[in-house]
Chain A
């Protein structure tokens, strides 16, 4: 499946540009970066260019013809950026087709044959019709469709046409449709990935399957190997411990056993590695349910580089000796271009990442000398809190898919021990020069912190 990803800010600017041109058609250009994924391509659009009226040879309600000078200008821009090119135009009339018209086909065929030898990246065309976006990519001497078009920012906006709600399974979705309305159809069309399927990720995986996502990819290199896994990992059975199965296989089998149509892919690998990481790019939303700072740093960078919405969660139990509890904290953070990254929120620490990556003997030696904070000892955890965190993450997916998402904060904190619900103290935006922001829309050209295969 091919995907085309935008930032919400760029799509909002395009919406305004198209609205100003009504009732005539209008067109704009984006630079495009392409990444191969196990199931297709992820195309990332950035740096839009909105040409003035004078740049077009013809513009009216049914036609839009770019001048040779405009084409030359946008091709030069793409070549200079070592990027591909996306042309997107509007079909403003409600009687227009949602997809490409016969006239579009003729014009784009001619344009693609010229452009394919001039630009280094892909040539992509999109049309914004009355019911949503349709897009395709020129490959060889033919067009291939782009099935998912989405934008990420303070929310997730799926731009391709809404699936027919009638096609949903009415009996299965009955109460959920009552609760979510059209949002349910969106949810049923989503592919999501969960990084880490321990105490937090395994109940999250089950919840997402029960919510009805179309596809679920779970990524985790760890095996089920300690008794304590039985307290936290959904699907884990004591009879499995001796065989040391991968956690992803245990959780996938458990979720498959529910008997719902979600397609589950289990990746027993480290998301920081070049072979496992691209699986995350096949998702519309990624959930980070790992306590590894280093893994979260990779997904944090990918969120900006690939316009990939990420829902991150951290749970922490604070004790008051000998038997009291000082806090049962669960914090959810939404990451996407336009929202502060995990470094600027101080969730990720460059020092902690360095310490985590050190070889174990070196880390222990430096810990003994007092130069490394933390140790290899397991973090305190209790299933009741991680299940709460999983519920908060799944609920956040609904919140950020909804039309109210623009009014939401970039995350929230819940202390199950307190009556009030404090909001997470968080930066409003990334600091100047932030690495995540500098990588926006750059795909694999951005520093992602990946380990070679």
Chain B
């Protein structure tokens, strides 16, 4: 997860996992086909968005992680 110096006033968006991590029995979805380099390592960008749902003081790393988990669960169940 990436946060900038104005976090939590600025929203978090998307998340990144090691390139090799994806669902074993499901093809890599379109929204996760971009590979980016950060901190000298390659990361798969999971392009899941909050679509403006970020309230400073209410949202943070915890709620962003919760969104990621919820999306993973949804992806797994499909």
Residues of A at the B interface (CB closer than 8 Å) are 294, 297-298, 301, 343, 348-351, 353-354, 357-358, 371, 431, 433-438, 447, 449-451
- When A343-B55, A433-B58 are in contact, do A447 and B9 touch as well, CB less than 8 Å? yes
A241 CB, min distance to chain B CBs, angstroms: 32
Most chain B beta carbons < 10 A, residue from A354, A435, A447, A450: A354
Structural contact, B49 and A350, CB atoms closer than 8 A: no
Residues in B48-64 with C-beta less than 8 Å from chain A: 49-50, 52, 54-59
Query: Helix, strand, loop or mixed for chain B's interface?
Result: loop
A-B contact pairs, 29 of them (CB 8 A): A294-B10, A297-B9, A301-B9, A343-B56, A350-B10, A350-B11, A350-B54, A350-B55, A350-B56, A350-B59, A351-B11, A351-B54, A353-B6, A353-B10, A354-B4, A354-B10, A354-B12, A354-B13, A357-B4, A357-B5, A357-B10, A371-B14, A371-B47, A371-B49, A431-B58, A435-B56, A447-B9, A449-B10, A451-B5
Shortest Cβ distance from B1 into chain A, in angstroms? 12
**What is the CA–CA distance of A449 and B4 in the complex, to the nearest angstrom?**
9
Residue of A nearest to B60 (CB): A435
Looking at the assembled complex, report how far the CB atom of B56 sits from the nearest CB atom of chain A, in whole angstroms: 4
Chain B residues with CB under 8 A of A438:
57
What's the least CB distance linking B10 to chain A, in Å?
4
Distance in angstroms from B2 CB to nearest chain A CB is 9
Bound-complex Cα distance A239 to B37 (A): 46
Q: Nearest chain A CB to B7's CB is how many angstroms away?
A: 8
Q: A357 and B6: CB pair below 8 A?
A: yes
Known: A371-B47, A371-B49. A353 touches B58 (CB 8 A): no
Nearest B residue to A435 by beta-carbon distance?
A: B57
Residue from the list A348, A371, A431, A434 in contact with B13, Cβ < 8 A: A371
**How far is it, in angstroms, between the C-alpha of A451 and the C-alpha of B7 when the chains are bound?**
11
Q: How far does the alpha carbon of A433 sit from the alpha carbon of B56 in the complex, in Å? A: 8
A431 to B58, CA, bound (A): 10
Please indicate the chain A residues that have their CB under 8 angstroms from the CB of B12 in the complex. Answer: 354
The answer for the CA separation of A449 and B10 in the assembled complex, in Å, is: 9
Residues of B within 8 A of A353 (CB): 6, 9-11
State whether A433 and B57 are in contact (beta carbons under 8 Å apart), knowing that A357-B4, A371-B47 are contacts in the complex.
yes
Chain A residue nearest to B2 (CB atoms) is A354
- Complex CA distance for A296 and B69, rounded to whole angstroms: 33
Contact yes or no, B9 A350, CB < 8 A: yes
Known: A294-B6, A449-B6. A433 touches B55 (CB 8 A): yes
Per the CB 8 Å criterion, the residue count for chain B at the interface is 20
CB distance from A208 to the nearest CB of B (A): 28
Residues of A with C-beta under 8 A to B50: 351
Closest to A344 in B: B55
Query: Which residues of B lie under 8 Å from residue A371 when comparing CB positions?
Result: 13-14, 47, 49
**Given known A350-B56, A351-B54, A354-B13, contact A435–B8 (CB-CB < 8 A):** yes
The docked-state distance in angstroms from the alpha carbon of A353 to that of B13 is 12
Complex contacts, A354 vs chain B, CB 8 Å: 4, 6, 10-13
Q: Please name 12 further chain A to chain B contacts, defined as beta carbons within 8 Å, in addition to the given A350-B54, A431-B55, sorted by A numbering.
A: A294-B6, A298-B6, A343-B55, A348-B9, A349-B52, A350-B10, A351-B11, A354-B6, A371-B13, A371-B47, A431-B58, A449-B10
Asked whether A343 lies within 8 Å of B9 as measured between CB atoms, the reply is yes
Closest Cβ of chain B to A292, distance in Å, is 11
Please report the C-alpha to C-alpha distance between residue A80 and residue B72 in the assembled complex, in whole angstroms: 43
Q: Are A436 and B6 in contact (CB-based, < 8 A)?
A: no
User: Which residues of chain B have C-beta atoms less than 8 A from A357's C-beta?
Assistant: 4-6, 10
What CA separation (Å) do A343 and B56 show in the bound complex?
8
Given the complex of chains A and B, what is the CA–CA distance between A350 and B58 in angstroms? Answer: 12
Report the bound CA distance from A94 to B65 in whole Å. 62
- Shortest distance in angstroms between A80's beta carbon and chain B's nearest beta carbon? 23
